[in-house]
Amino acid sequence: MEDNLARELELDEQAVAWEEAYAQPAQQPYEQTVPRIEPIPQAAPLTKGLTKFELFLITSFAIIIFGMILLNVQSSLELSTASRSVQDVNAQISQTNIEIENLQQQSHELSRYDRIQAIAKKYGLELHEDNIVNIAPQE
């Protein structure tokens, strides 16, 4: 029983060559590659700078706007100064009116008939109705 199933086979060179030829993976069918289309590089559009006229317009508008802002600030300051002056003058007018009213009240108190009679009696003066002249106060 020397004979067993696992025996050595003698292979000849032709059989090995033939087997290697068929043992290679089969060649894949030729795939036709789609040619890759790359866009033609185009130059980026040149951005032109601003023209001299556009720069002049932009600068002119900027100067005009800046001037208007300064004018607005100046007129606001003048308005607040004038408003303050008007308030000061109104305060002086009120104070003067109060002083005038106080002086008129004092004048009326000093010119009361009974007060004049008391002073005249104190100094021994007599009242003659023919010599009295009434003067209306001017306001």
Q: What is the pLDDT of residue 23?
A: 60
29-33, 79-83, 90-94, 117-121: segment of lowest average pLDDT:
29-33
Q: What is the pLDDT of residue 48?
A: 75
Q: What is the pLDDT of residue 119?
A: 87
pTM of the model: 0.45
Residue 24 pLDDT greater than 90, yes or no: no
> How far apart (Å, rounded) are the C-alpha atoms in residues 56 and 61?
9
Q: What is the pLDDT of residue 102?
A: 95
Buried b (16+ CB within 10 A) or exposed e, 95-128: eeeeeeeeeeeeeeeeeeeeeeeeeeeeeeeeee
